Amino acid sequence: MPAVCERYGLESGTGDEAFSSKKQYVMKRLEKLSDEKVFKIAKSVVEDFPDDKLQAAIEVVEKEGHLVSDLTRHHLAEALNEWPLAGKRDLLDMLRKHWPSIDQTGSAYRFGETVADDIYRHAVRNDDMPNAEILALAELFTCSQAKLFHFLQDVVDPIRRDSEEQERIVAKLNPILRRDGYYLSPSRRVSGYPAYSVLETTATGVQPADELISQVLISFDESGVHAAWQKALDRRSSDPEGAITAAKTLLETVCKHVIDEAAGSYGPNDDLPKLYNTAATCLNLSPSQHAEPLFKSILGNCQSIVGNLAGLRNKLGDSHGQGKRHVKPQARHAELAVNLAGSMAMFLVSTWNALKSQRSQSDLTG
C-alpha cells in the first residue's frame, strides 16, 4: 500500500500503518491535498484500476453537468426495443463485455440465480423481455457515461449489423442524444463498413448550422426527413460521393413530404427540379407567385441552387456509372452540397410550419 500511494504522489508511510486500515491510510493523505490534486489522482487511479463508480464520479466533476440525463438513458433504451440488441451476435456475450457483474448480481426473480440467468430465460430461450428491461437489469441507467457511450458504439458496430441497419439505429438514437449535446458519427471504417463514435455536438468540426437544421427537420418528420439529413451529414468526410447523393435525396424527401402534406401530387418519375417547383408552388415560394423583383430574384436563385445540386449529384455522386475521366469529389465539395441541401430543406420545412401555424390561427379566429 505505501508503495502504491507513493506512485500517485501521496506521502510515504509504514506498512504497519497501512495494515491497520488501508482506507484511513489513504484518506489521511488525500485530506492534505487540494481538490485539483485529488481529482488528478482519481483520474490516474481509474486508468490503472478501472472502476465504473469512480469513473462516474469523475464525470460529474469533469463534465460540469454536461452529462446525458436519466430521461435520455431511458429514451435510448426504449428506442432500442425495435432491434435485436446484439444484432447477429450472442446477447449474453455482448452484455458481459460491458457489465460482467450480471454473472454475480442476484436474480430479480429467482433465489440462487443471477441476472444473467434472468436474461437467458426471458430474452434468449423466450422472447418476453424488451431490451429496455434487459438494459435496466444490466445497470445501463446507473453506469458511467463512458460505459454508456461504449455500449452504444458497440450496438451499431459493423460486426453486429449491416450498414442499412446501422443507419436506421443511428437515425433513431441521434435525435435523443442530441438533446443532451451528443451524437453518433462515423469515425473510421472497418473493411469498408462505418464504425461509430459518440461525439459532442460542440466539438471541433461540428458546425452550429448542423444542429439548427437538425432541430428543424426533427420537428417535421423525425423518422424520414431527419434520417436522410443524418445520412448526408455522416458521409461528408468519409464518403463524399455518397454524401452528395444523400444531399439530393434529402431535398427530394422534403419536397415529397411537403407536397403530400399540402395535398398536392407528383409523378413517380419527377426529378428533383420538378419536385422542388411543385413544393415551392404549394408553399407560395415560386418566383411566378410574386411581383416584387427582389423576392422573384431570391426565389429564382433558390430554384437554381436546387437544379445545380441535382446536376452536381449526376456529375459527382455515386448513383451513376462514371467514365475514365471521372472527377472524384473531395470532402469540401460534399460539405458544400450537404450544407446547401440542408439550408434549402430547412427553408422549405420552416415555411411549411409557418403556413400551418397561420392556418391554425385563422381557423381559431375564423
List, in sequence order, every beta strand (DSSP E) within the chain.
Answer: 182-190, 193-200
pLDDT digits (tens, 9 = 90+) for 31-54: 888 888 888 888 888 888 888 888
Check residue 204 and give its pLDDT: 43
pLDDT, position 205: 46
Length of the chain: 366
Q: In whole angstroms, give the CA distance from residue 266 to residue 276.
A: 10
Q: DSSP letter string over 258-302?
A: HHHHTT----TT--HHHHHHHHHHHTT--GGG---HHHHHHHHHH
- Interval 259-276: pLDDT, tens: 999 999 999 999 999 999
pLDDT exceeds 70 at position 363: no
pLDDT at residue 144 greater than cutoff 70: yes
Q: How confident is the model at residue 18 (pLDDT cuts 50, 70, 90)?
A: confident
Question: Residue 327 above 80 pLDDT?
Answer: no
The residue ranges of every structural domain in the chain are 2-49, 70-204, 225-365
| Of 252, 347, 356, the residue nearest 302 (C-alpha) | 347
Percent of the chain with pLDDT over 90: 43
Tens digit of each residue's pLDDT (9 = 90 or more) over 92-109: 999 999 999 999 999 988
pLDDT, averaged across the chain: 86
